[in-house]
Amino acid sequence: MVVGNENAEIVKARIDKRDYRRIVLRNSLQALIITDPDTDKCAASMNVGVGYFCDPDGLEGLAHFLEHMLFYASEKYPVEDSYSKYITEHGGSTNAFTSSENTNYFFDVNTDGFEEALDRFAQFFTKPLMSADATMREIKAVDSENQKNLLSDGWRMNQLQKHLTAEDHPYHKFSTGNWDTLEVKPKAKGIDTRNELIKFHEENYSANLMQLVVYTNESLDKIQNLVEEKFQDIRNTNRGCFRTSAQPCKSEHLQIIVRTVPIKQGHKLRVVWPVTPEILHYIEGPCRYLGHLIGHEGEGSLYYILKKLGWATSLSAGESDLSLDYSFFKVVIDLTDAGHEHMQDIVGLLFKYIKLLQQSGVCKWIFEELSAVCETKFHYQDKSPPSDYVVNIASNMQYYPPKDWLAGSSLPSKFSSSVIQMVLDQLSQNNVRIFWESKSFEGHTDKVEPWYGTAYSIEKITASTIEGWVLSAPDENMHLPAPNKFIPTDLSLKVVPEKVKFPVLLSRSSYSALWYKPDTLFSTPKAYVKINFNCPHAGNSPEAEILTHIFTQLLMDYLNDNAYYAQVAGLHYNISHTDAGFQVNLLGYNHKLRVLLETIFEEIATFRVKTDRFSVIKEMVTKEYQNFKYQQPYQQAMYYCSLILQDQTWPWVEQLEVLPGLQAEDLAKFVPVMLSRTFLECYIAVG
């Protein structure tokens, strides 16, 4: 039985040919069903509005543990792991993740196996077994997952930021769980973890907190019947959504500098402010607007200045958390060795740029340009794999009204200077948290984060101290970005007289080959260009391979000041070294793609080594190789596999050995030799 059946207006992309229907089952479970006659994969995602914020005290990781246990078996399908086995046998994959306020389960599978897969999936939430036999194995699996994360700087720094918040706020919690929290400590207190797990499931997993997305090639009516049949028996206890009125940060957690020791080589600066959640103002998009400006990389931007000074190799800015109750705005800067020595100047320049935004006022033309870029990106987006698509929509359903389930916060369309100004005012010197990561702090810290063992120390700072940094920072000409000349205005499709099934060789010479294929499948105004520069000299020694790598990184570095505008406008490019030389890739709207391609070729043709930038890139590449040993085992295995299979590749250890002796003059001599024997293979697909 369906109590709600709405063909409510759901905003979808102009080129989206799929059909959608929203239904609400009698148990209050909301579902969005999608039909795509062209798909060869079906998928489903169930979002449950319960996450680790609901973990009981003393049972850290229980929500994550439940996520693991639901996969094992159900009353209808009692054989353990039969669900995962069925999915694999039918060409699919399955996974799940636990976040702060939600847990998401999903799978994809070949079309012929979907109906039974969906039935098995539904039993997770209807009558899961959670047998005693599986409990110990899955606690070990959770612990193994946590062990994997212990050497990840991303996980370590995220937990440290959570640790330095109010202990009574759920944001402070340890989310993953481990052997200690799920077995040792509960047992010492006489607590049966499995009983607590069943209790947690019964109290929290209610149909009214669930959002389901189903994606198949069948008709909407047939999908609806399947969903009704398989999901209407999930119990509804009318549990309320988890909410907290408190904020994670109290006064003692603000105006601090936290010096911390990472696992990997390198220096990083994270500047964080608690702000009003974007989700409350997603139509106005204040964090998107501010992230666009503070994270800009064109001439006059904060990053442009830091790069010119030789202090930074990357910068990103924007909101970092999805919640109705709290949020953070973060600026993350990868520092060079020189930048590490100028931390105060860098923070001073950041606040100087924020002052520039205050003095300039909220610019309507910048918002409208950003809004136009977002609108074009949404309406001409490429098709995502079905599993990614359903996960994204199911997650959106928890927070957004039905009309915005597909778009989420990706379409800021309402200009409100007051809303943007409100968040800009929150990026203040009184409200800041600075996390400064470097191996150089080893032996100079006095505290340890309990879950990951991260060494750190805290120092309080005042607004007047930061203002002093602002006043003493270099006097650089920072300014707002210029209008973006790469934004496409012609989104028409190219006329193709007949369907071309195979690529056509348009030209071939002793120097190059050009292949062309019109897009007759996706019907988007985009082009894809791939150019292989096959250079025999590029990999004939460890020195040659590392010089080729530095060359490609320098090209990306030189192009960034102007080509960053292209990336903002949806024209993406990458230059990377390959086992045969190097490769240029471009993807985006075909209207302005030629301008970007010509810019790249001109940079290659007129390449000159800039000594200061060579030093920065060499330092960055050196750390990249030094950190190889900290990659996940599967990543290292893939690397060594490719090392065996590919010609003209040299072990990273040998490349690291020769790196210290390489100078800018070596690259200046090498590049003309490398390019002197080059065969270009060009592949172009145009919509």
From 352, 294, 603, select the one nearest 471 (Cα to Cα). Answer: 352
Please tell us whether the domain made up of 504-686 is placed in CATH 3.30.830.10: yes
From 391, 324, 320, 384, select the one nearest 104 (Cα to Cα). Answer: 391
CA distances from 318 to 12, 277, 621 (A): 25, 12, 26
Please identify which residue in the block is written with the tokens 């080059």.
678
According to the model, what pLDDT value does residue 244 have? 85
> Could you name the CATH architecture of 2-231?
2-Layer Sandwich (3.30)
| Residue 103 parent element (H or E) | strand 103-110
In single-letter form, the type of residue at position 578 comes to T
According to the model, what pLDDT value does residue 495 have? 75
**459 included as an active-site residue:** no
Please identify which residue in the block is written with the tokens 């996390």.
435
Distance between CA atoms of residues 206 and 126, nearest Å: 10
In single-letter form, the type of residue at position 399 comes to Y
Q: Is the dihedral of CA 615, 619, 624, 629 positive or negative?
A: positive
In the three-class reduction of DSSP (H, G, I as helix; E, B as strand; rest coil), residue 488 is classed as: coil
**67 included as an active-site residue:** yes
From 98, 59, 248, select the one nearest 161 (Cα to Cα). Answer: 248
Catalytic residue among 6, 9, 60, 67: 67
Residue ranges covered by each domain of the chain: 2-231, 251-384+401-472, 504-686
Q: Are 17 and 11 in contact (CB under 8 A)?
A: no
The domains spanning 2-231 and 251-384+401-472 adopt the same CATH topology: yes
Q: Are 685 and 518 in contact (CB under 8 A)?
A: yes
According to the model, what pLDDT value does residue 384 have? 94
According to the model, what pLDDT value does residue 6 have? 54
CATH number of 251-384+401-472: 3.30.830.10
According to the model, what pLDDT value does residue 349 have? 99
According to the model, what pLDDT value does residue 3 have? 42
Distance between CA atoms of residues 676 and 665, nearest Å: 18
Distance between CA atoms of residues 109 and 115, nearest Å: 10
**Strand stretches in 302-343, DSSP E:** 312-319, 328-335
Q: Are 445 and 456 in contact (CB under 8 A)?
A: yes
Q: Is the dihedral of CA 445, 450, 454, 457 positive or negative?
A: negative
In sequence order, the 6+-apart residues with CB closer than 8 A to the CB of 258 are: 160, 164, 433, 434, 435, 436, 456, 457, 458, 459
Catalytic residue among 60, 101, 138, 545: 138
Count how many residues are written for the chain: 687
| Residue 456 parent element (H or E) | strand 455-460
In the three-class reduction of DSSP (H, G, I as helix; E, B as strand; rest coil), residue 532 is classed as: strand
> By CB neighbour count within 10 A (0-12 exposed, 13-18 middle, 19+ buried), where does 682 fall?
middle
Distance between CA atoms of residues 458 and 259, nearest Å: 7
From 297, 365, 356, select the one nearest 331 (Cα to Cα). Answer: 297
According to the model, what pLDDT value does residue 467 have? 98
- Block mean pLDDT (10 aa), the chain, length 687: 58 96 98 97 98 96 97 93 96 98 98 98 95 93 96 97 97 98 97 97 97 98 98 96 88 98 97 97 98 98 98 97 92 98 98 98 98 97 96 98 97 98 98 98 98 98 97 96 95 77 92 91 89 94 95 97 95 94 96 95 97 96 92 89 85 91 97 96 92
> By CB neighbour count within 10 A (0-12 exposed, 13-18 middle, 19+ buried), where does 112 fall?
exposed
Instruction: Give the burial string for 503-524 (b: 16+ CB within 10 Å, else e).
Output: eeeeeeeeeeebbeebbeeeeb
Could you report how far apart the first and last alpha carbons of the chain are, in Å?
44
Rounded to 10 deg, the angle between the 417-426 and 343-360 helix axes is 160
According to the model, what pLDDT value does residue 643 have? 87
